[in-house]
C-alpha cells in the first residue's frame, strides 16, 4: 500500500545554527514533541563542518522527525556572512503561511507552537513571540524588571525606536523575570494556566512566529548587506519593522526555555537596530 502524501506544512520552523550539534539536538527533540503535526523544519548551518556529521544524537532526532512525516531540510555549511544573511536565506526557503524563527538553543513546551499559532491567527498581527526563560536565574528575583503591559484590545502597529520610551519593555525578558511573573499570575505547568494573553513588547529573542507574508512585506532581513558579518540584533531590527506595519506581541504564559550556552556571536559592537536606526519606519 502506498503511503499517503504528507500534507503541506502550516508552520515552517527556521533554525540558524553554528557549531552547536548537542544544543540543536535538544531543540529538535522539543520540536518533535509538538502537538501541531503540520511542521516543516529548515536548518541553515554555518558550522566549521556539517553540524549533522558532528553528532549521532542529532542525526537520530532528524530521523525521528522524518519518520513522523515531518520534512527536514539541512542546508550547509554555508558561507559566514552574518546572522542577518542566514535568516534571510531561511526566509527565502519558507513555503508555509507561518514561519517560526527558532534559535538552536531553545527548548519548547509541547503545546507551544499550537498556542503561538492560535494567538497569531486570532490577533492577525505580524508576529507573536514566546520569550525564553533563563532558569539558572530562578532564585534571582527582580520585581523592578517585571512590569507588563497587556494588549486589552486588538494588537496595533507600534513604531518603536531603540532607546525610546517603550524600549525598557525588554527587561521583562531578562534572566528569569517572565518565569517569576508567571509564577505569581498563573498556575505552574503542566497544570491549567488559563487562556493565553498577549502583551506589549519592544522585541523578543529566540522564538518568534511570523506571518510569513507580512515579514516579507516588511523587508525580512534584506538589510543584511548593510551590516558587517559580525553583528547582533538583526532579529530585533526585523521585528521593529514588522511591528511598525502590522503590530507584534508576546505570548503569556511563555513556553520556551533558554539552554543558556555561551554565545556564538562574541563580537557585538555592531547592533543592527542602532546601526540602522535611520532605516526604521
User: For residue range 47-57, what is the model confidence (pLDDT) as tens digits?
Assistant: 999 998 889 99
137 inside domain = yes
6 inside domain = no
Here the cell at position 39 is: 511542521
Starting at the edge strand found earlier in the chain, the sheet holding 11-17 runs: 71-75, 39-45, 11-17, 98-102, 207-211, 127-129, 248-252, 197-199
What average pLDDT does this structure show over 201-223?
Answer: 98
191 compared with 194, residue with greater pLDDT: 194
Mean pLDDT, the chain, rounded, equals: 93
- The yes-or-no verdict on residue 268 having pLDDT over 60 is yes
User: For residue range 146-187, what is the model confidence (pLDDT) as tens digits?
Assistant: 999 999 999 999 999 999 999 999 999 999 999 999 988 875
2 inside domain = no
Split at pLDDT 50, 70, 90, the class of 196 is: confident
Q: Give the structural domain span for 246.
A: 11-279
173 compared with 266, residue with greater pLDDT: 173
Split at pLDDT 50, 70, 90, the class of 213 is: very high
Domains in the chain: how many in total? 1
User: For residue range 135-153, what is the model confidence (pLDDT) as tens digits?
Assistant: 999 999 999 999 999 999 9
Its pTM stands at 0.95
What pLDDT does 3 receive? 47
What pLDDT does 193 receive? 58
State the Cα–Cα distance between residues 264 and 68, nearest whole angstrom: 31
106 inside domain = yes
Structure letter (DSSP) for residue 272: H
- The yes-or-no verdict on residue 225 having pLDDT over 60 is yes
What pLDDT does 217 receive? 98
- The yes-or-no verdict on residue 6 having pLDDT over 70 is no
User: For residue range 235-260, what is the model confidence (pLDDT) as tens digits?
Assistant: 999 999 999 999 999 999 999 999 99
As a dihedral over the C-alpha atoms of residue 127, residue 94, residue 113, residue 220, rounded to 10 degrees, the angle is: -20
Distance set, CA 126 to CA 9, 30, 118 (Å): 19, 24, 13
DSSP H/E element including 181: helix 177-185
What pLDDT does 187 receive? 55
What pLDDT does 188 receive? 57
29: domain CATH number?
3.90.550.10
32 inside domain = yes
Region of residue 45 (phi > 0: left; psi between -120 and 50: alpha; otherwise: beta): beta
Sequence-separated (6 or more) residues with CB below 8 Å from residue 241: 218, 219, 280, 281
By three-state DSSP, how is residue 193 classified?
A: coil
As a dihedral over the C-alpha atoms of residue 128, residue 133, residue 139, residue 144, rounded to 10 degrees, the angle is: -30
3 inside domain = no
Sequence-separated (6 or more) residues with CB below 8 Å from residue 54: 21, 47
156 inside domain = yes
116 inside domain = yes
What φ, ψ does residue 40 adopt, rounded to 5°? -125, 135
Q: Is the peptide bond before 77 cis (omega within 30 degrees of 0)?
A: yes
User: For residue range 71-114, what is the model confidence (pLDDT) as tens digits?
Assistant: 999 998 888 899 999 999 999 999 999 999 999 999 999 999 99
State the Cα–Cα distance between residues 188 and 59, nearest whole angstrom: 33
Amino acid at each position: 500500500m502506498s503511503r499517503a502524501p504528507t500534507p503541506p506544512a502550516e508552520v515552517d520552523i527556521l533554525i540558524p545554527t553554528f557549531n552547536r550539534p548537542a544544543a540543536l539536538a535538544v531543540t529538535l527533540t522539543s520540536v518533535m514533541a509538538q502537538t501541531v503535526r503540520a511542521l516543516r523544519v529548515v536548518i541553515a548551518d554555518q558550522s566549521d563542518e556539517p553540524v549533522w556529521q558532528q553528532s549521532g544524537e542529532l542525526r537520530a532526532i532528524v530521523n525521528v522527525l522524518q519518520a513522523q512525516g515531518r520534512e527536514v531540510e539541512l542546508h550547509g555549511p554555508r558561507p559566514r556572512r552574518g546572522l542577518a544573511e542566514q535568516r534571510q536565506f531561511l526566509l527565502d526557503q519558507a513555503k508555509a503561511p507561518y514561519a517560526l524563527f527558532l534559535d538552536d538553543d531553545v527548548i519548547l513546551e509541547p503545546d507551544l507552537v499550537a498556542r503561538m499559532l492560535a494567538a497569531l491567527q486570532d490577533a492577525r498581527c505580524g508576529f507573536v513571540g514566546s520569550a525564553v526563560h533563563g532558569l539558572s536565574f530562578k532564585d534571582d528575583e527582580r520585581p523592578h524588571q517585571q512590569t507588563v503591559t497587556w494588549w486589552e484590545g486588538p494588537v496595533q502597529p507600534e513604531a518603536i525606536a531603540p532607546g525610546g520610551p517603550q524600549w525598557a519593555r525588554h527587561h521583562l525578558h531578562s534572566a528569569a523575570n517572565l518565569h517569576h511573573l508567571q509564577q505569581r499570575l498563573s498556575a505552574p505547568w503542566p497544570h491549567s494556566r488559563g487562556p493565553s494573553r498577549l502583551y506589549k513588547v519592544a522585541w523578543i529573542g529566540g522564538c518568534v512566529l511570523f506571518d510569513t507574508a507580512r515579514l516579507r512585506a516588511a523587508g525580512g532581513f534584506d538589510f543584511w548587506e548593510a551590516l558587517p558579518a559580525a553583528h547582533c540584533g538583526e532579529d530585533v531590527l526585523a521585528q521593529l519593522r514588522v511591528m511598525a506595519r502590522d503590530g507584534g506581541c508576546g505570548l503569556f504564559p511563555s513556553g520556551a526555555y533558554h539552554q543558556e550556552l555561551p554565545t556564538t556571536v562574541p563580537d557585538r559592537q555592531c547592533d543592527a537596530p542602532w546601526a540602522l536606526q535611520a532605516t526604521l519606519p
